[in-house]
Chain A
């Protein structure tokens, strides 16, 4: 940094470091619900510190800047108050796209006005190492942006969740990726680019926007927990790359935290589906499932037992233990509140009620937990797969609502099944399985029939999840009209 505008003063370096530490504490707080709110406050303080320090170092154009913060902050705050908890996955995807775009904008601004960022050498050219960081930051930011937009469209239902398979997509993606990497290398050594001229920066940017789209469109709806975690990770790496350009410790620490957080979540999600990260990214899973009816079967409808809300209410009233297994279908029909009411009524009758959550239930990590928390289900009644799975053998009723693949025992026995090896909730071991499903037609995301439907101890409750639960609540209330 021989030609920096001015070396950052020591107090500012320390302030940025403190902001980084506060961000670490913000994540640390999430180790338990009790400490989580204090953690979130640490995060806010850290952010205020980082922004305040930057404004104190660069006290020009403040009017416009404060206006920009007020506009953005106002929009963000209103969205945060209004958003439905069931819409969390698309909200997070949408927010990721904003981080990506912000990274792109910062990279472009630094490219156009490198002097302001202190990344020029004595001749006024942008340092080669800064160009690499800038190229990477802009590329990752652009991929995060366009990829998150596609994820947002798929999650919010504005675009079909089924995979879109371009011919030769692997070749296209690998080619574009190689192009981005090679061009970033050229960008670092190109004299014109050093002076902020030439098209290289813009070509890298354009290619990155394209690959963000082509990477995400072949990935189907139920793989979204992995995608959204992966994009979370990318947004972190983009921030880190920009942190290198600006030599800012707060950005580097945060980028590294967020980058590893997203990567770990992706890993957890992949493991919970027994899929490799590569196979998820390659996409196409479940492409042929589109309502194919009783796929994989002989086409003949196998016999199953259907029941009514009154039957279900009766069975559960007379049970000692009920384990509720929620899935994406519960979120779709917004059944969480009715479900909690049902749980409360059963508990009044002396039934022990617990909730069992599969890591990939829903469309993002922890999706079901948030919905149950929203419906006032205490978090100490909600259990993760490994903590509760052994209890199905002793429980009277497993109540499955809107989940399918995560309860499919074929994952344990059928080596040819696409979900073979996936850890599942052993609902079939319960004395009775009550399975809410819209109809017998669809066979879950993976397109695999579930033997639990046809088991002797299973009663199918065929209806919209919310309607069915509400009817059960009515029956429990002594109505049963």
Chain B
């Protein structure tokens, strides 16, 4: 892909983000931050490439380890971010539903 098509995707995605985020209810702003944090860890893709490539190219040693460390950090975020978001969202209940004992 050339730079301009990537830029087009980026600009359109900014607009999608703008409209989608404005539609998020303020009550869920904390889960919003937690889940955006989890999905921004998609940067793990870059770390995976570095970690995988380092295993086959010579001289990729340092870059392989940087990649692996990146994978660890991003994984903390991915698992932690999605799990904590799930935990929070499970707490939002409507009226009338019996306030059952929280787990």
Shortest beta-carbon distance from A367 to chain B in Å:
6
Closest to B87 in A: A80
Interface membership of A257, Cβ < 8 A: yes
Q: B10 is contacted by which of A77, A112, A252 (Cβ under 8 Å)?
A: A252
Q: Contact: A65 with B71, CB < 8 Å?
A: yes
Q: Contact: B26 with A76, CB < 8 Å?
A: no
Which A residues from 337 to 368 make CB contacts under 8 A with B?
344, 357, 359, 364-367
Q: A238 is contacted by which of B37, B43, B59, B67 (Cβ under 8 Å)?
A: B43
Which applies to chain A's interface (DSSP): helix, strand, loop or mixed? helix
A257 to B39, CA, bound (A): 9
Residues of B in contact (CB 8 Å), total 89
Instruction: Tell which of A213-221, A373-381, A442-450 binds the partner.
Output: A373-381
Q: Contact: B3 with A379, CB < 8 Å?
A: no
Interface membership of A110, Cβ < 8 A: yes
Q: Contact: B79 with A99, CB < 8 Å?
A: no
A85 to B90, CA, bound (A): 13
The CB with the most chain B CB atoms within 10 A, among A116, A250, A259, is that of A116
Q: Contact: A43 with B76, CB < 8 Å?
A: no
A106 to B34, CA, bound (A): 22
Residues of A in contact (CB 8 Å), total 118
Q: B14 is contacted by which of A40, A129, A259 (Cβ under 8 Å)?
A: A259
Q: A37 is contacted by which of B25, B60, B89 (Cβ under 8 Å)?
A: B89
A108 to B46, CA, bound (A): 11
Which B residues from 38 to 63 make CB contacts under 8 A with A?
38-57, 59-60, 62-63
What is B's interface to A at a CB cutoff of 8 Å? 1-3, 6, 9-11, 13-14, 16-18, 20-57, 59-60, 62-64, 66-97, 99, 102
What is A's interface to B at a CB cutoff of 8 Å? 1, 16, 19-20, 23-24, 26-28, 30-33, 36-37, 39-40, 43-44, 46-47, 50-51, 54-55, 58-62, 64-65, 68-77, 79-81, 83, 85, 88, 91-92, 95-96, 98-99, 101-103, 105-106, 108-110, 112-113, 115-117, 129, 228-229, 232, 235-236, 238-240, 242-262, 264-265, 268, 344, 357, 359, 364-367, 369-370, 373-374, 376, 378-382, 384
* Pairs across A and B, CB under 8 Å, 29 listed: A36-B92, A37-B86, A40-B82, A40-B85, A51-B45, A60-B53, A60-B55, A72-B73, A73-B78, A75-B79, A95-B37, A95-B80, A95-B81, A102-B70, A103-B43, A105-B66, A106-B50, A108-B63, A109-B46, A232-B33, A238-B43, A240-B10, A257-B20, A260-B21, A262-B33, A364-B33, A366-B29, A373-B91, A381-B95
